[in-house]
Chain A
Amino acid sequence: MSFDNAYEALIDGHEDAHWAFGTGFSEALAGVDREVPDVDRADLAAYCLMLGDDALVLSQRLAEWCSRAPELEEDVALANIALDLLGQARMLLTRAGEVEGAGRDEDALAYLRDERDFRNVHLAEIECGPFAGGDFATTVARLLVFSSWKVAQYSRLRASADPVLAAVAAKGLKELAYHRDHAAQWVVRLGDGTDESHRRMRAGLERVWPFLAELSTAHAVELRLPGVAVDPAELRSEVDGVLDAVLAAAGLTRPADVPAARVNGLAGRDGVHTEAFGYLLAELQHLHRSLPGAKW
């Protein structure tokens, strides 16, 4: 670029390849068949929402670290992970709207649904730092569990009969494997580092462990979509294997498997969330809802 005119960039072409991970996502799925497979559309849309909400809500949580990380390099790394998840969320919500066929786009689904219509697991929404409810150790504990689970899920989803889900999974798998690696690196360092970091890492694992059980509990929608969806019960042993290996390398022991209590037998996939989730949504949605009809 020429440095004579600082405003040159305003009239440049409109590609956004500059941004770390891009801000658009249409190219990511370019050429992918968007045909809807021959399954119940409401079920498929609900399944896309489950996956999309997992990614959206954890992205929102991770972005809370922006300008608050322990070192600048880690600020960049956590923002990268949040951006990856946000990109996945946008593709999945877009697909949910497309399959549903009621004209809702990614923003209508992210901003105009009420709490009971969100289908993410509790693990994505709980507070794990930087604010009350956790710290950096809790954040990496959550990230390790979440990304280990997602890696197992997405690696199977690559064979989904829904070509869009398969394509999102193929792209997202590489990202999630990196997130898992990043989290594992930190769990090992914090587990081994100092007495304080070891204590915090144990506390972090204990904080997130109760939410592990929900990850392998199938919802009826998931079971009604064989060949399209992944049965989460299948993922448990793979996830356990990864977690055990990382914990062993970190000199940490596995917390007791005591599942978080359900409310009336229900949890995130059913639209029943933790108290913290209402606040997360209020923040996420308030501006969009304050100016109905505005274009952004």
Chain B
Amino acid sequence: MSASWPLWEVFVRGKRGLNHVHVGSLHAPDAEMALRNARDVYTRRNEGVSIWVVPATAITASSPDEKDPFFEPSGDKVYRHPTFYEIPEDVPHL
């Protein structure tokens, strides 16, 4: 069997009062492990931050140019997923 784990998108709330922001993605076998991996990989174990993990396949995203008739709508391609749309370095006060 293929043993590769699914992709999860990671969102982190850096501190209270801020939105969760997409910080990247990772592989994990399930949600529990995805949360733990996200903590280790993306938060450097800062305590008090809040993390969301979402299966990459669960994200429905719009095309950047909705008028684009050539955009292939196949939902099974990983590159449809908005990994790295935003990273915290660009967000003030994160």
- A contacts B: CB pair < 8 Å: yes
Q: Report yes or no: A77 in contact with B32, Cβ–Cβ below 8 A.
A: no
Q: Report yes or no: A76 in contact with B40, Cβ–Cβ below 8 A.
A: yes
Which segment, of B14-22, B23-31, B66-74, B79-87, faces chain A? Answer: B23-31
Q: Report yes or no: A20 in contact with B29, Cβ–Cβ below 8 A.
A: no
Q: Report yes or no: A80 in contact with B45, Cβ–Cβ below 8 A.
A: yes
A288 at interface by CB-CB < 8 Å:
no
Q: Report yes or no: A185 in contact with B36, Cβ–Cβ below 8 A.
A: yes
Q: What residues of chain B lie closer than 8 Å to A178, measured between beta carbons? A: 45
Q: Report yes or no: B37 in contact with A77, Cβ–Cβ below 8 A.
A: yes
Q: Report yes or no: A185 in contact with B40, Cβ–Cβ below 8 A.
A: no
Q: Interface residues of B toward A: which range?
A: 10 to 19
Per-residue A-contact encoding for B37-77, CB less than 8 Å = 1, 0 else: 10011001101000000000000000000000000000000
In terms of DSSP, what is the predominant structure of the interface of chain B? Answer: mixed
B78 at interface by CB-CB < 8 Å:
no
Per-residue B-contact encoding for A163-193, CB less than 8 Å = 1, 0 else: 0000000000010001001100100010000
Q: In whole angstroms, what is the CA distance A181 to B33 when docked? A: 11
Q: Report yes or no: A73 in contact with B41, Cβ–Cβ below 8 A.
A: yes
Q: Interface residues of A toward B: which range?
A: 10 to 19
Per-residue B-contact encoding for A222-262, CB less than 8 Å = 1, 0 else: 00000000000000000000000000000000000000000
- Residue among A72, A73, A76 having the largest count of chain B Cβ atoms under 10 Å: A73
Binding site for B on A (CB under 8 A): 20-21, 71-74, 76-77, 80, 174, 178, 181-182, 185, 189
- Which 9 A-B pairs rank lowest in CB-CB distance, beginning with the nearest? A73-B37, A77-B40, A76-B40, A20-B44, A80-B40, A76-B41, A73-B26, A73-B41, A73-B27
Q: 26 interchain pairs (CB within 8 A)?
A: A20-B44, A21-B44, A21-B45, A71-B5, A71-B27, A72-B27, A73-B28, A73-B33, A73-B37, A73-B40, A73-B41, A74-B37, A76-B40, A76-B41, A77-B36, A77-B37, A77-B40, A80-B45, A178-B45, A181-B36, A182-B36, A185-B32, A185-B33, A185-B36, A189-B29, A189-B33
Q: A21-B44, A73-B33, A185-B36 are in contact. List 17 more A-B contacts (CB 8 A).
A: A71-B5, A72-B27, A73-B26, A73-B27, A73-B28, A73-B41, A74-B37, A76-B37, A76-B40, A76-B41, A77-B36, A77-B40, A174-B47, A178-B45, A181-B36, A185-B32, A185-B33
